[in-house]
Amino acid sequence: MNVLQAHLRLAQGGFVLDAQFEAPANAITALFGPSGGGKTTLLSALAGLKHSQGSITLNERDVGAIAAHQRGFGLVFQDARLFPHLTTGQNLAYARRRAPNSKLELADVAGFFDIATLLDRPVRNLSGGEKSRVALARALICAPEFLLLDEPFAALDGPRRRAFIQVLLAAHRKFQIPMLIVSHSIDDAAALASYLVVLNQGRVVAQGPFAETALSSSFQALLDPRDIGTALSSAALRSAAQADVQSLWLRADHVLIASEPPKKLSARNILEGRITAITWEADLSLLVQLATAAGPVLSRVTQEAAQDLELQVKKTAWAVIKAHAV
Amino acid sequence: MLSPAELEILSTSFAVAWRALIFSLPFAIAVAFLLSRPGTPGRLILDGLAHLPLILPPVLVGFLLLLIFGRRGPLGALLGQWFGVHLAFTTAGAALATAVMSFPLLVRSIRLAFEATDARLFEAAAMLRAGPWDRFVSIALPLAGPGIIAGAVTAFAASMGEFGAVITFAANIPGQTQTLPLAIYTVLQEPGGEDEALRLAVMSFAVAMLGLIAAEFLQRRARKRLFG
């Protein structure tokens, strides 16, 4: 069942947004696309902060003509936008007071996000990671029907970014609120989302279940060539990160191909499969697609390697992946 | 130190300035907020109207007030009929004239305070279910608070010196409408009044300086409390 259906049209300067998409209930949907593709604009239009034509249906209610504060969307901004004249706790209380039907208690939410000790602090004294958690807590405590997130970890570095992804996934499980999260990092999108909407130049060029949609040529064409790959369930791979995430993004550049069952390798993942396609890339390398029990896997090989291994469609081959590559 | 007459002049000045501020502050806040929002319709016209008292000769402002609020003026007659209130030649009238004259100053400083607040915070508040009025009260006002206080204190100090509009609309009645500048004007009309004029001038100067220092101090304190 789709909780959100939208067809948005708006023109802004020379940019035209004409996006039709949906998002399933009880899922995290990633809104992915190159910078300048209109992701933030689309989010603002959904939320009602920007005027748009078209229709927005949220939980079977047409909210397209309703003011932003009554639409039922929550929004976590890239910059946390905490109120500087209030303490952390007052920021949360601000949201809680305006949602009288919310069943969430401030203390519980603060405990969940590990910010209970920060409640008396002015928000200017919070670190980047703390600000992100407070902003997320503040949005959730307002009990939105649907939560929009605009690259909420843009300001966070590697380890804190991964930690925040864990917090987001845990929050999604606990609060059961469908989310649409803007990201231009394929790893983050794969880690979080089970559904994918791809936006390019103001249009939705692909959408559907994550792994399937990520395999489509219109999506792969938008990726940096180094990022080309596939999404695999985290259960199917041994990952050094051992993160409890939705799926892992496996880059074609990180996958070796063997034409015989490999022995005595340090790599922790060996997936047997059948070659389903071999395609030329612009740099004259070859992309080999392998259908494995864990799902499709892409590997990039040189022309020479493909000849040596006599790689052909329908032949059996083994994909070799280091645990540290995912 | 101060003679009873001087005390009366000072207290009249305060009474007028106080009332002027109470008259004008709510309107000034509303107008300044509308002017600070890019989407306000008719912003240019509103801006012009708000600044008119700054450009017009004060005597003309007083004369216009007489035409409108005098006993036979359209609003003055109504006020008299319905409430028995007469503004011309009263302390309240002096306050009204002063309020009109200090309005542009008040609007300008409050508008700057609103413009300095981060409009993206209003969006954040809207996403937490705060409606337009709620956002104004809970976000815009407190964030602009230091600027509003400073503007109000400065306008209060400036109000003590309003002359042309007051003398035209409210006349120069000791104990009722004779404020500091009107008193200075009066003593200068008499031969040998320079000494008294000087004393009154020093009082004027002291009040103005105190006002400016208080405005700066209050603004700093409020900023510190708000933003550290």
> What are the tens digits of pLDDT across the range A292-308?
998 999 999 999 998 99
| pLDDT value of residue B45 | 94
pLDDT in tens, A68-114: 999 999 999 999 999 999 999 999 999 999 998 888 999 999 999 99
Sign, CA torsion B142/B143/B148/B153 = positive
The pLDDT confidence band at residue B112, using thresholds 50, 70 and 90, is very high
Range scoring the smallest mean pLDDT among A28-32, A118-122, A151-155, B119-123: A151-155
> Can you state the percent helix, strand and coil of chain B, rounding each to 5?
80, 0, 20
Interface test with A, best of B117, B118, B127 (most A CBs within 10 A): B127
| pLDDT value of residue A274 | 95
Residues 202-221 of B with CB under 8 A from A: none
pLDDT in tens, A115-160: 999 999 999 999 988 999 999 999 999 999 999 999 888 778 888 8
CB contact under 8 A, A69 and B138: no
Put simply, whether the predicted model's pTM sits higher than 0.90 gets the answer no
B62: Cα separation from own chain's centroid? 15
pLDDT in tens, B5-51: 899 999 999 999 999 999 999 999 999 999 998 888 999 999 999 99
Report the C-alpha gap between B60 and A71 in whole angstroms: 51
Look at residues A71, A74, A59, A61 and name the one whose alpha carbon lies nearest to residue A25. Answer: A59
CB contact under 8 A, B226 and A68: no
Instruction: Count CB-CB contacts under 10 A for residue A225.
Output: 14
| pLDDT value of residue B102 | 94
**ipTM score here?**
0.88
pLDDT in tens, A34-48: 888 899 999 999 999
| Sheet with A28-32, side-by-side order of all strands | A61-62, A53-58, A2-12, A15-24, A203-209, A195-200, A28-32, A179-183, A146-150, A73-76
Instruction: Average the pLDDT over B65-85 and give the result.
Output: 89
Q: Residue A162 above 80 pLDDT?
A: yes
| Sheet with A295-301, side-by-side order of all strands | A255-258, A316-321, A269-280, A286-292, A295-301
Contacts of B143 in chain A (CB under 8 A): 84-85
Contacts of B130 in chain A (CB under 8 A): 69, 94, 98
Q: Residue A242 above 70 pLDDT?
A: no
CB contact under 8 A, A68 and B126: yes
Looking up tokens 């993942």 gives A269
| HSE-up of residue A36 (Cα within 13 Å, Cβ side) | 4
DSSP string, B60-114: HHHHHHHHHHSTTSHHHHHHHHHH----TTSHHHHHHHHHHHHHHHHHHHHHHHH
| pLDDT value of residue B100 | 95
The pLDDT confidence band at residue A174, using thresholds 50, 70 and 90, is very high
Looking up tokens 């469609």 gives A313
Contacts of B141 in chain A (CB under 8 A): none
| pLDDT value of residue A14 | 86
CB contact under 8 A, A99 and B129: yes
Residue A301 to chain B, least CA–CA distance (Å): 48
Q: Does B140 touch chain A (CB under 8 A)?
A: no
Residue B30 to chain A, least CA–CA distance (Å): 21
| pLDDT value of residue B14 | 92
Q: Residue B62 above 80 pLDDT?
A: yes
Range scoring the smallest mean pLDDT among A195-204, B63-72, B210-219: B210-219
Contacts of B138 in chain A (CB under 8 A): 94
Q: How many inter-chain contacts (A to B, CB under 8 Å) are there?
A: 68
Interface test with B, best of A81, A104, A146, A147 (most B CBs within 10 A): A81
| pLDDT value of residue B228 | 65
Report the C-alpha gap between A131 and A113 in whole angstroms: 11
CB contact under 8 A, A98 and B143: no
Contacts of A139 in chain B (CB under 8 A): 127-128
Nearest Cβ partner for B124 among A81, A99, A124: A81
